[in-house]
């Protein structure tokens, strides 16, 4: 079984500052993938970034980077230079090798303050 834990129900960040959203996971799979999604108030889940368990380098996509620490089983999302449009729910998720199942955490609500 897989489990995702997001311990921060809500976070505030000043505009233009960086913010880190925490995610820890638990799995018995040797090969797995970690994902971050953004969900604005409109409801749509938007894919942000992916990290494979065998990837040696941390993933980056524009202002998003994933701080992957395999030994600690953590996959924190770092958003640099926060913008007002970044205010949303953020979900960490994982998938086992060849699996259809995406296991999601409960999410973190990020609010960017002008």
What is the rounded distance in angstroms from the CA atom of residue 63 to the CA atom of residue 97? 27
Instruction: Establish if 108 lies at the interface with other proteins (CB under 8 A).
Output: no
Quick one: which segment of 15-23, 29-37, 56-64, 73-81 binds other proteins (CB under 8 A)? 29-37
Instruction: Establish if 113 lies at the interface with other proteins (CB under 8 A).
Output: no
Mapped onto helix, strand or coil, the DSSP state of residue 85 is: helix
Contacts of 53 (CB under 8 A, 6+ apart): 29, 30, 31, 32, 33, 34, 70
Q: Which lies closer to other proteins via its Cβ, residue 28 or residue 42?
A: 42
CB 111 within 8 A of CB 42: no
What is the rounded distance in angstroms from the CA atom of residue 87 to the CA atom of residue 56? 30
Instruction: Supply the minimum distance, in Å, between the C-beta of residue 46 and other proteins.
Output: 8
**Binding test (CB under 8 A) with other proteins, winner from 53, 65, 82, 108:** 53
Instruction: Supply the minimum distance, in Å, between the C-beta of residue 89 and other proteins.
Output: 10
Instruction: Supply the minimum distance, in Å, between the C-beta of residue 55 and other proteins.
Output: 10
Q: Which lies closer to other proteins via its Cβ, residue 50 or residue 67?
A: 50
């Amino acid at each position: 079984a897989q489990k995702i834990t997001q311990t921060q129900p809500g976070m505030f960040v000043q505009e233009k500052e960086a913010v880190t959203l925490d995610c820890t996971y638990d799995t018995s799979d040797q090969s797995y993938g970690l994902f971050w999604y953004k969900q604005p108030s409109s409801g749509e889940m938007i894919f942000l970034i992916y990290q494979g368990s065998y990837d040696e380098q941390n993933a980056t996509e524009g202002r998003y980077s994933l701080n992957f620490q395999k030994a600690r089983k953590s996959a924190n999302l770092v958003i640099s230079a926060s913008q007002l449009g970044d205010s949303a729910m953020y979900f960490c998720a994982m998938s086992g090798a060849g699996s259809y199942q995406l296991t999601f955490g409960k999410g973190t609500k990020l609010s960017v303050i002008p």
